C-alpha cells in the first residue's frame, strides 16, 4: 500500500450568503440563504515512500484544504484517506508523532521567545529523549547555519531566518511525512535558494516523503520530479515535470543570432516575433514544426548562434490553470490519477 492513499476524498462547506445593506441584514436574522462550496471534489491520489511531490493549483483550488485533511485538522465530507496507515482525522497520537506540517503564513514558534525555547517545548510535546533531541537539533541548526540566532527572540528574526527556525521545529521529532504549504512565500531570492538547498539535501538524506504546495515555480523545478495539479477541487494532472511541459506547451522558444548583422525582413514567416535585439531575434514557434523552421532558416541565412528552449515553466503552469478552470468538472473527474501523465491547501502535536 502507498504511504499516502486518497480515495474519493471530498470536502464541502456551507456558507451563509450575507446580503449588503441594513434591510437585508435584518431580513437575514429570520431567513438566511446559504450556498455550498466544494473545496475538494473526490480526489484519488497515491504517494509512495520517499517521493517529493509538488501539489499545485490556483488560489482556491483546494490545495490547503487537502493538506488540512491529511493533517487531521478537518474531517472530510466523503471519501477515505490513509497516511502511514492512519486515518488522519482520528488524530491518534501515534500518527501525530510521525508527520509535520509547515505553513508559510503561520507560526508555530513563540513570538517573544528565542527559538531554542520553542525547540525545548517541542521536545516535551513529542517526548524526545535528551540525546536524540540534542543530536537532531544540532544537525538541523548546522545545516541551516542559524546557530548564532538561537538566543535571539523570534520577532527579531528576518522572514527567511524565521522560516529556517520553523523547519527545525517541524523536523525535531524526525517525521516520516512532511507537508509544506508555501514554505518560501515572501522570501527573497537568496532565502528561497537556501531553503530549497536544505530541503533537497534533507529529503535525499532522510528519504522522507514530502508534499509541497508553492506558487514559486523555481521551488518546483529545484525539488520535485512529480507534479500534481489541482483545480476546482479535482486533480487535473499527475505526472512528471517534463511531461507537463510536453503536454500543455504548444510551442518552443527559438532564439537566432544572425551573422554579419544581417537581419531578414521576413521574420514573421518563421514564427511569432517575441523580441528583437539586432542581430538577435526570439521567436515563438509551434513545437510540431520547429525542425522545419530551423531547416528553412539555415537554408536561407547565416547564423552565429541558435537555441531552442521550452517556454518558461511559469507560463506552462499558467496555461494548465487556465485550461482546467475553463474545463467542466465532469471532464476532469474522468481523468486518471496515481502518477500517470494524464489531464483530467496544524499544528503537529
- % of the chain residues with pLDDT over 70: 92
What average pLDDT is seen over the chain? 86
- Which residues, other chains included, contact 44 with Cβ-Cβ below 8 Å and sequence gap of 6+? 6, 7, 8, 9, 235, 337, 338
User: pLDDT at position 186, please?
Assistant: 85
User: pLDDT at position 52, please?
Assistant: 95
User: pLDDT at position 264, please?
Assistant: 80
| Least confident interval from 152-161, 180-189, 219-228, 334-343 | 334-343
Residue 97: which pLDDT band, with cuts at 50, 70 and 90?
A: very high
User: pLDDT at position 202, please?
Assistant: 95
pLDDT above 90: residue 46: yes
User: pLDDT at position 115, please?
Assistant: 94
- Which residues, other chains included, contact 170 with Cβ-Cβ below 8 Å and sequence gap of 6+? 100, 101, 102, 108, 178, 348
Does the domain spanning 4-98+175-244 belong to CATH 3.40.50.300? yes
pLDDT above 80: residue 216: yes
pLDDT above 50: residue 348: no
At residue 328, what are phi and psi to the nearest 5 degrees? -80, 145
Q: Over range 1-18, report the average pLDDT.
A: 88
Q: Are 79 and 6 in contact (CB under 8 A)?
A: yes
pLDDT above 80: residue 339: no
In DSSP terms, which residues pair with 309 in a beta bridge? Answer: 253
User: pLDDT at position 335, please?
Assistant: 37
Radius of gyration of the chain from its Cα atoms, rounded to whole angstroms:
25
Query: How many residues does the structure list for the chain?
Result: 349
Domain ranges of the chain: 4-98+175-244, 251-309
Does the domain spanning 251-309 belong to CATH 3.30.70? yes
Q: Over range 64-85, report the average pLDDT.
A: 94
User: pLDDT at position 44, please?
Assistant: 95
Amino acid at each position: 500500500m502507498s504511504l499516502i492513499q486518497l480515495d474519493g476524498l471530498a470536502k464541502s462547506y456551507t456558507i451563509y450568503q450575507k446580503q449588503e445593506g441594513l434591510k437585508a441584514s435584518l431580513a437575514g436574522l429570520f431567513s438566511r440563504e446559504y450556498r455550498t462550496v466544494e473545496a475538494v471534489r473526490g480526489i484519488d491520489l497515491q504517494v509512495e515512500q520517499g517521493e517529493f511531490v509538488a501539489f499545485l493549483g490556483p488560489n482556491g483550488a483546494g490545495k490547503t484544504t487537502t493538506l488540512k485533511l491529511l493533517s487531521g485538522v478537518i474531517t472530510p465530507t466523503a471519501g477515505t484517506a490513509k497516511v502511514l496507515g492512519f486515518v488522519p482525522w482520528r488524530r491518534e497520537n501515534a500518527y501525530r508523532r510521525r508527520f509535520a506540517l509547515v505553513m508559510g503564513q503561520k507560526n508555530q514558534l513563540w513570538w517573544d521567545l528565542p527559538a531554542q525555547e520553542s525547540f525545548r517545548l517541542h521536545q516535551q510535546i513529542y517526548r524526545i529523549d535528551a540525546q536524540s533531541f540534542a543530536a537532531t537539533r544540532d544537525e538541523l541548526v548546522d545545516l541551516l547555519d542559524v546557530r548564532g540566532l538561537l538566543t535571539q527572540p523570534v520577532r527579531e528574526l528576518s522572514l527567511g531566518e524565521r522560516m529556517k527556525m520553523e523547519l527545525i521545529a517541524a523536523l525535531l521529532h524526525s517525521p516520516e511525512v512532511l507537508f509544506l504549504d508555501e514554505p518560501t512565500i515572501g522570501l527573497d531570492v537568496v532565502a528561497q535558494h537556501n531553503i530549497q538547498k536544505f530541503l533537497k539535501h534533507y529529503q535525499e538524506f532522510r528519504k522522507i516523503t514530502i508534499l509541497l504546495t508553492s506558487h514559486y515555480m523555481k521551488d518546483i523545478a529545484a525539488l520535485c520530479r512529480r507534479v500534481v495539479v489541482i483545480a476546482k477541487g479535482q486533480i487535473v494532472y499527475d505526472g512528471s515535470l517534463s511531461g507537463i511541459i510536453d503536454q500543455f506547451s504548444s510551442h518552443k522558444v527559438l532564439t537566432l543570432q544572425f551573422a554579419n548583422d544581417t537581419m531578414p525582413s521576413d521574420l514573421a514567416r518563421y514564427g511569432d516575433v517575441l523580441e528583437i535585439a539586432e542581430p538577435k531575434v526570439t521567436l515563438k514557434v509551434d513545437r510540431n514544426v520547429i525542425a522545419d523552421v530551423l531547416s528553412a532558416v539555415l537554408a536561407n541565412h547565416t547564423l552565429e548562434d541558435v537555441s531552442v528552449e521550452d517556454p518558461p515553466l511559469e507560463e506552462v503552469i499558467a496555461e494548465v490553470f487556465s485550461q482546467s478552470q475553463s474545463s467542466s468538472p465532469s471532464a476532469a473527474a474522468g481523468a486518471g490519477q496515481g502518477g500517470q501523465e494524464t489531464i483530467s491547501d496544524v499544528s503537529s502535536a
